Structure 1
């Protein structure tokens, strides 16, 4: 009862605070997910349970609950007390942030240990909620749903490497078809007696008995779990990748195999870029690399895709209504950011509709991803307006390139960044290109520049005011000519500045753009 009264008080205060906080989306109640893993205990508090939830607070403690489990059969007692202490802190943070729903998930160590039930009972008493002890099949299922939450129309095999186990499942397989193998980093290190060559042999034997298979020609392996995220982050740093976002970082499998061999064979301190990996993650990194190497040999994937989303996000995704699940995660997140930062979010939506019609009029073919990226760019086109004019391009570029978006590749992020950069910086040679442009194809760069050229014309005409763009027409009138049609009631918008921008648009299109004031 005391907890309920305290929670009610904090919730009321939180609702009031959210009304005052313009950087928060309204009508969203925070939700917390705690993951009692074999290696770490983590709480993530999300702004709300939505298709593309933003993280309000994220904290983990590397307790090592599963350390020694292979030999003793029990959870490490010191680790248990560290976990309980962390959970007390997590509970207080839930009160302070006004969390409504709390979900606690437990994985391999808790379900397999002799003293696991006693630990779970302590956690339930402390947290005053049910702890869901996941089977290996359920872990695999939620990991697959995490990939659906974080990738657009994924296809391939998911591997979730924890401290105690490795779950494998085809991302589109039916519930319960995944498998669990005793190849988690902590357990593998103990089974191998800290020998990496023996660890590789153990992994090779276990994987040879796997029943998980590809379902089509798309052979992408989705890597889930903290150790593999660290491996991806190290790869990013080692090769000086221009985007720091590890989610949806894709590496050709043969290249990743060579890198895993390097990580497993050398002192980590000798590997360039190791400072990108936190020190408490480095200890198990060679074992994660050994398992990844054996997976590549066993499954022969074409691509390794690193995922920041996993069991926690998959669990939340499973609780969404089907209609919410079907929403596009990228466009949902871009729309949210537009609401928080744009002068007029409705104008951004009109911009997406207007440019869609213009692209069609020009006969420029768009793939599904081209359309998604253009639409997201339109939603994000005005997020830099509060910055000083000299710094809007850089600010918009940094926000978009590093935002917590999911459902978009690194090439897609580069497209968004290029469009935002040139929307503010201009299109002349002097403006240059953002560093991330190297990640985009020539066609993607061209489409982003054309979109930016449209932005530079349309924002001068509309001043970010909803209702103006639907009144402005655009039509191709000949092989080399297009018309930008302004209605009589907006005739005074024509002027020297728009004419200059229209010439830039024509240069990008390779066409003559004529401004026609109708009436």
Structure 2
């Protein structure tokens, strides 16, 4: 089947997004395929499927990929090959990590992959570490510190400075190998792991962030969030101070059993089995590296593969705006419209002490997109976008401000408790002013470009002023008056409307 025909057949397969790239990651625990769409600076995951083949389970004992594990992996990979062909995804990158590179029968396994049409690349431990660092750099622009990527067969450690990977090593401390370090107690296991880290880890400067990558470590973040009663659900970007980590990871997990962990929401049976040992490793890294904090990253090797292929100008894009831009455009809020409205509202409701222009623009895009949601479900769904969707390069406070702006755009000024837990009243008030200004802008002239060209909004002499061309005086109706009062009240200023002859509306005042 031709690529053109496949593209035609797949139209509409993924709700407004076209599958563009796929990565197959053959690890020691799982074989995973992820299909991406949208902008590759902040890609949308269209399909994420894994097979828990546990290819590396026998490496430590007999140095081979187990026959049963190979059969499971190949069954999944045959399905992946068929799916990719039917979807018309031609850009496929296949990488294999610790299990395949260390197994005596790894080369034979690679030959079988090639028969399926894949072009597998076995990457070294150091390359794996650097790719994980690239993923972290893409998710946390300018990241500096250390990246620790815990897989089934190995632990990759790499220093990172201003987003650039430095010294990298791969240690045989993956989740499948951690049981070898168990002693009679957690403290004995921790000391053994500290010794292994001291022997093999790169020279790491203390007092810098430690970025944690890998499914088991993300599950650890989920556990810590549950222990904290954290209002957010996405572990990406979740941060723990060292004392918090010792409490929520060390002391709390020490009291858990595999059975009790399996009973928790969002902790799978496989992760429950790995989590106790991984928590001891985390304690050992805390002790050995002395980080300023732990930051959990959902971006790692696969996203590093995407990020490394981007041209420099694409890498320089803001990942929050790139991701929100695609998302909002698919929901009736093109970026050009959001930019016009953000420009129109900036003099009246600019970012101040708590916000930034990038965050205000993202809030504008999401607020406009939220108007496409049915009114009866709009507010909770739009707030969920802000709080729980995987946006990149935002803090918990940023998410709360996005939610406050979206809510105010819908004239919902009584914010949910989960929003108020994440930011101060001053920060939320600033964001609500953004949302009320967007509300005024879109309702003034039904989002028409002309309405923004014949008007201007600003604050002067402690008064919110709407300047409106005489030809469009009738745009100032009852809804607009209500919106002016709402915004002025939130800003704590008076308000007025100035009707200006069209020929006196200066060109430099036009948007």
Q: Deviations over 1:325-356 (max 9, x none)?
A: 11111101111112111255432121222233
1:264–1:287 contact (8 Å) kept in structure 2: no
**Structure 2 residue 478 is the aligned partner of structure 1 residue 489:** no
Deviates most, 378-387 or 224-233: 378-387
> Deviation per CA, 1:414-449, whole angstroms, max 9, x where unpaired?
21112112211433xxx3435223112333212111
Residue 161 of structure 1 corresponds to 150
**Which residue of the partner structure matches residue 392 of structure 1?**
378
Partner in structure 2 of residue 465 of structure 1: 448
Change (3 A) 1:442 1:154: farther
Q: Secondary structure at the match of 1:468?
A: helix
Matched residue SS, 1:382: helix
Output the CA distance in 1 between the equivalents of 2:183 and 2:374: 58
> SS of 1:171's equivalent?
strand
Match of 1:289 among 279, 295, 301: 279
Q: Does 1:258 align with 2:247?
A: yes
Alignment partners' CA distance in 1, 2:468 and 2:7: 48
Give the secondary structure class of the aligned counterpart of 1:464.
Answer: coil
C-alpha change, 1:175 and 1:413, in structure 2 (3 Å) is: closer
SS at structure 1 position matched to 2:344? helix
With 68-77 and 140-149 compared, the bigger mean Cα shift is at: 68-77
The match for 1:14 is: 7
Per the alignment, residue 204 of structure 2 pairs with 213
> Quick one: distance in 2 between partners of 1:370 and 1:398?
21
Q: 1:201 aligns with which of 191, 205, 209?
A: 191
Report the Cα offset of residue 160 of structure 1.
Answer: 0.2
Aligned to 2:495: 513
Deviates more, 1:142-151 or 1:238-247: 238-247
Residue 506 (structure 2) aligns with: none
Distance 1:274 1:240 in 2: 14
Deviations 1:141-194 (A, max 9, x none): 100110122223322211100011111112227556211111111011245479
Which range moved further: 256-265 or 180-189? 256-265
CA contact (8 A) 1:415 1:440 kept: yes
Measured against aligned partners, the alpha-carbon deviations of 1:297-332 in whole angstroms (never above 9, x if no partner) come to 111222211111110010111111111111111101
Give the Cα separation in 2 of the matches to 1:97 and 1:357.
47
For 1:90 and 1:84, the matched residues in 2 are separated by: 10
- Work out the CA distance in 1 between the residues paired with 2:263 and 2:386: 24
Distance apart, 1:198 and its partner CA: 4.7
Go from structure 1 to structure 2 and tell me whether the alpha carbon gap of 1:472 and 1:125 turns closer, same or farther (over 3 Å shift). same
Q: Give the distance between the partners of 2:172 and 2:476, measured in 1 at CA.
A: 69
1:365 equivalent to 2:352? Answer: yes
What is the alpha-carbon distance in structure 1 between the residues aligned to residue 463 and residue 411 of structure 2?
Answer: 26
Partner in structure 2 of residue 222 of structure 1? 211
Distance 2:244 2:460 in 1: 50
**Conserved 8 A contact 2:26-2:32:** yes
Q: Distance in 1 between matches of 2:139 and 2:337?
A: 27
Q: Conserved in 1, the CA contact under 8 Å of 2:342 and 2:438? A: no
Q: Does 1:151 align with 2:144?
A: no
Deviation sequence 1:179-222 (CA, Å, 0-9, x none): 1111111011245479755542332112223224239x6x2211
- Distance in 2 (alpha carbons) for counterparts of 1:333 and 1:343: 13
Task: Tell me, yes or no, if structure 1 residue 23 matches structure 2 residue 9.
Answer: no
Are residues 1:422 and 2:392 paired? no
Question: What are the within-5 Å matches in structure 2 for residues 325-364 of structure 1?
Answer: 325-342=315-332, 344-359=334-349
* 1:72-87 alignment runs, 5 A limit: 72-87=62-77
Inter-CA distance 144–467: structure 2 relative to 1 (3 Å threshold) = farther
- Contact conserved, 1:460 with 1:498, CA < 8 A, in 2? yes
How many residue pairs get aligned? The number is 498
Q: Report if aligned partners of 1:178, 1:212 keep a CA contact under 8 Å in 2.
A: no
Kindly indicate whether residue 485 of structure 2 is the aligned counterpart of residue 503 of structure 1: yes
Q: 1:195 to 1:103 in 2, by over 3 A?
A: farther
Runs of at least 5 residues in structure 1 that lack an aligned partner in the other structure: 1-5
Moved more, 166-175 or 241-250: 166-175
Q: 1:32 to 1:419 in 2, by over 3 A?
A: same
1:183 is aligned to 173
Q: Are the equivalent residues in 1 in contact too, given 2:32–2:48 (CA < 8 A)?
A: yes
Give unpaired runs (5+ residues) of structure 2: 502-511
Answer yes or no: is the 8 Å Cα contact 1:354–1:470 preserved in 2. no
Distance of 2:184 and 2:81 partners within structure 1: 36
**What residue number does 2:120 align with?**
131
Moved more, 117-126 or 317-326: 117-126
Cα distance change, pair 62–170 in 1 and its aligned pair in 2 (3 A) = same
Deviations 1:242-278 (A, max 9, x none): 1111111112221112222221443144469722211
Query: In structure 2, what is the Cα distance between the partners aligned to 1:257 and 1:514?
Result: 56
Contact 1:418 1:433 in 2 (8 A): no
**SS of equivalent residue, structure 2 residue 232:** coil
SS in 1 for 2:307: helix
Provide the residue aligned with 2:36 in structure 1.
Answer: 46
Change (3 A) 1:446 1:226: same
Equivalent residue number for residue 308 of structure 1: 298
- Please give the TM-score of this superposition, normalised by the length of structure 2: 0.91
| Distance across 1 between alignment mates of 2:448 and 2:263 | 46
How does 1:61-140 map onto structure 2 within 5 Å? 61-126=51-116, 128-140=117-129
Aligned-pair CA distance for 1:514? 1.5
Which stretches of structure 1, 4 residues or more, deviate above 4 A after TM superposition? 173-176, 193-198
**Given the superposition, is the C-alpha separation of residues 373 and 341 from structure 1 closer, same or farther in structure 2, using an over 3 Å criterion?**
same
